């Protein structure tokens, strides 16, 4: 099959949706399919490089940055934020459609972008939508027009309110790249965060609790991997051993996991969390909030510790507990690695998606 993956963000920023698309695309390519990417790119800066797969970059103004920068503290700001995100998607999709129209792909695999999927479907092309996060109910018509819809985690449950014809395709994890190699003994216990520096990740809460824990135990450090609109404001509230190391991918990112002892993800919401899978595969104990899919991904006191959202005292105590108890860290990290090994495989997910594609093509042709 000829499969074109369409992702507005991949050449600009990397999140869970982008990681999923790229890994599944490469796995389908290994299965013998002809796969290419059509992805967004910055207007001025160089786009993020993608290796080992054919890429077409589409440059349009990145209006979504306005959506991330503005805090929706009142009606006007909420309106501006929503309009910026919608305009960004519509403008990029409009340009992308004319690029995709010229392709003879059997399947167009889109990350969100259901309006673009519906338009392709209306013109006799097969569109498949992957939902990295819960879609708005206003998208129901375009969701129903697309041939295939799939998701995983908490998003899957929310999609059931909009359509009954959907599929569960879980992510995988590269168990060789994110390995469980033995860590070198060191003086400080290293805590790690990986992700975008945006409001939903709740980093001000993490930093605040870490600052409080540091007053009691100076043998801890926090490494923040990523970038985002909140970076400068977060740096202003640091009064402990916290380091920002920038955006990392592939081996550089894997090395950050290898150097860490505990992974922290205390988001206000996570539909799934691929970075948490990577941390578990890297044999890290996890501290996670009790929101979204995280309590289903992390088993409290088995693969990590679950804390109530915005309970600073609970987060501080979890940090101190894991910092002082190596046996607990070792037990949680061992269980985390085993859980990922048993339940998540990119190859299995790609074969599952391949089967869905083939069935849909046969259905349309018959």
- Give the C-alpha separation, 340 to 329, whole Å: 17
Domain spans of the chain, in order of start: 2-172+345-365, 189-343
Find, among 216, 218, 199, 189, the residue nearest to 287 by Cα: 189
pLDDT digits (tens, 9 = 90+) for 7-45: 999 999 888 999 999 999 999 999 999 999 999 999 988
Alpha-carbon distances of 107 from 32, 153, 277, 358, rounded to whole Å: 15, 24, 28, 10
Q: Which residues contact 169 (CB under 8 A, 6 or more apart)?
A: 24, 130, 150, 151, 152, 349, 352, 353, 356
pLDDT digits (tens, 9 = 90+) for 239-283: 889 999 999 988 999 999 999 999 999 999 999 999 999 999 999
- 196: its two tokens: 């975008």
Res. 73: pLDDT tops 90: no
Q: Which residues contact 249 (CB under 8 A, 6 or more apart)?
A: 14, 48
What SS3 string covers 283-316?
CCEEEEECCCCHHHHCCECCCEEEECCCCHHHHH
- Give the C-alpha separation, 61 to 74, whole Å: 25
pTM score: 0.86
Find, among 163, 115, 111, the residue nearest to 142 by Cα: 115
% the chain with pLDDT above 90: 81
CATH superfamily of 2-172+345-365: Glycogen Phosphorylase B; (3.40.50.2000)
Find, among 308, 271, 248, the residue nearest to 171 by Cα: 271
To the nearest 10 degrees (0 to 180), the angle between helices 346-365 and 16-30 is 70
Q: Does the fold of domain 189-343 match that of domain 2-172+345-365?
A: yes
Res. 302: pLDDT tops 90: yes
- Give the C-alpha separation, 206 to 263, whole Å: 11
Contact 247, 236 (CB under 8 A): no
- Give the C-alpha separation, 152 to 169, whole Å: 6
pLDDT digits (tens, 9 = 90+) for 135-171: 989 999 999 999 999 999 999 988 999 998 899 999 9
- 211: its two tokens: 């600052």
Helix (H, G, I), strand (E, B) or coil at 323: helix
- Give the C-alpha separation, 40 to 355, whole Å: 28
- Give the C-alpha separation, 120 to 109, whole Å: 11
- Give the C-alpha separation, 121 to 316, whole Å: 51
What pLDDT sits at residue 184?
66
- CATH topology classification for 189-343: Rossmann fold (3.40.50)
Higher pLDDT, 78 or 7: 7
Helix (H, G, I), strand (E, B) or coil at 164: coil
């Amino acid at each position: 099959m000829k499969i074109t993956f369409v992702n507005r963000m991949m050449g600009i920023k990397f999140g869970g949706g982008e990681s999923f698309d790229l890994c599944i695309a490469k796995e389908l390519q290994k299965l013998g399919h002809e796969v290419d990417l059509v992805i967004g790119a910055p207007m001025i800066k160089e786009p993020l490089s993608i290796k080992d797969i054919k890429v077409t970059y589409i440059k349009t103004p990145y209006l979504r940055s306005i959506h991330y920068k503005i805090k929706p503290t009142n009606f006007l700001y909420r309106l501006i934020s929503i309009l910026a995100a919608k305009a960004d998607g519509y403008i990029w999709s409009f340009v992308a459609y004319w690029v995709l129209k010229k392709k003879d792909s059997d399947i167009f695999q889109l990350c969100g972008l259901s309006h673009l999927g519906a338009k392709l479907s209306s013109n006799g092309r097969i569109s498949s939508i992957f939902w990295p996060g819960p879609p708005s109910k206003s998208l129901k018509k375009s969701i129903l027009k697309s041939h295939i819809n799939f998701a995983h985690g908490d998003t899957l449950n929310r999609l059931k309110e909009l359509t009954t014809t959907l599929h569960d395709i879980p992510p995988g994890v590269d168990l060789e790249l994110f390995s469980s190699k033995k860590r070198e003994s060191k003086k400080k216990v290293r805590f790690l965060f990986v992700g975008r520096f945006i409001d939903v990740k709740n980093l001000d809460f993490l930093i605040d609790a870490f600052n409080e824990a540091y007053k009691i135990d100076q043998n801890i450090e926090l490494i923040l991997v990523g970038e985002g609109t909140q970076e400068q404001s977060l740096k202003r509230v640091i009064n402990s051993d916290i380091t920002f190391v920038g955006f990392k991918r592939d081996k550089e990112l894997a090395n950050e996991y290898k150097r860490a002892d505990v992974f922290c993800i205390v988001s206000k919401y996570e539909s799934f969390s691929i970075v948490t899978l990577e941390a578990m595969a890297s044999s890290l104990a996890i501290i996670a909030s009790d929101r979204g899919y995280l309590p289903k991904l992390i088993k409290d006191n088995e693969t990590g510790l679950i804390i109530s959202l915005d309970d600073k005292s609970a987060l501080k105590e979890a940090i101190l507990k894991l910092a002082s108890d190596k046996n607990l860290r070792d037990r949680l990290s061992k269980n985390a690695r085993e859980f990922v090994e048993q339940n998540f495989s990119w190859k299995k997910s790609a074969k599952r998606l391949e089967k869905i594609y083939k069935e849909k093509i046969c259905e349309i042709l018959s």
